Chain A
Amino acid sequence: MTGLSEVPHKARAVLDEIERAVVGKRDALTLVLSAILAGGHVLLEDFPGLGKTLAARSFAQTLGLEFRRAQFTPDLLPADLTGSFIYDQGKAEFEFRQGPLFTGLLLADEINRTPPKTQAALLEAMQERQVTVEGETFVLDPPFHVLATANPVEYEGTYPLPEAQLDRFLLRVGFGYPDSEEEWEVLRRRLERQREEQTLNRIVTKEELREIQAAVETVTVDPDIGRYCVALAAATRKHQHTLVGSSPRGGLALMLVARAYAVIAGRDFVVPEDVKAVAVPALAHRITIRPELWMTDISGRSVVETVLGQVPAPTARDRTGSAR
Chain B
Amino acid sequence: MGPDSPRPSTHGAVALGALVLLLCALVAATFNGPSRVGLERDDDRSRVVEEGDSRERADQRSDPEDGQPEPDDEPWLPWLPPADLLLLVPSALIFGAALLVLARLRVVRRRRRLTGRVGVRHSPVTEVAPPDEAEEPALPGALDEGARGIGEGSPRNAIVATWVRLEQAVESEHFPHRPAETPSELVERALASYHLDAEAIERLAALYREARFSRHPVTEEHRAEAAACLRRLLATLGRPGARTR
Contact = CB atoms under 8 A, between A and B. Distances in A.
Same complex origin of A and B = yes
Contacts of B7: 156-157
B47 interface: no
Contact of B213 (A28, A152, A220, A299): A220
B120 to A, nearest CB: 4
Contacts of A310: 180
Contacts of A175: 117
Could you say which interface size class chain B belongs to?
A: 35 or more
B110 A31 contact: no
A278 B123 CA distance: 12
Contacts of A117: 1
A176 B115 CA distance: 10
A151 to B, nearest CB: 10
Given A157-B7, A312-B180, A319 B119 contact: no
A284 B118 contact: yes
A319 to B, nearest CB: 5
Interface stretch (A14-22, A91-99, A268-276): A268-276
B10 interface: yes
B222 to A, nearest CB: 14
Interface string B176-217: 001111111100000000000000000000001111111110
Interface string A253-295: 0000000000000011111110011111100110001000011
Given A273-B123, A313-B182, A222 B118 contact: no
A125 interface: no
Contact of A276 (B111, B116, B123): B123
A28 B119 contact: yes
A159 B8 contact: yes
Given A74-B3, A115-B1, A276 B121 contact: yes
Given A174-B119, A268-B214, A273 B182 contact: yes
26 contacts: A31-B119, A45-B117, A75-B2, A75-B3, A155-B106, A172-B118, A277-B120, A277-B122, A280-B118, A281-B118, A284-B116, A284-B118, A289-B112, A296-B112, A299-B113, A300-B116, A301-B118, A305-B121, A313-B183, A316-B212, A317-B167, A319-B160, A319-B212, A323-B160, A324-B154, A324-B157
Interface of A: 27-28, 30-31, 45-46, 74-75, 115, 117, 152-153, 155-159, 171-176, 220, 222, 225, 267-273, 276-281, 284-285, 289, 294-301, 305, 308-317, 319-320, 323-324
Given A280-B121, A316-B160, A317-B164, 4 more contacts: A220-B215, A299-B112, A313-B182, A316-B183
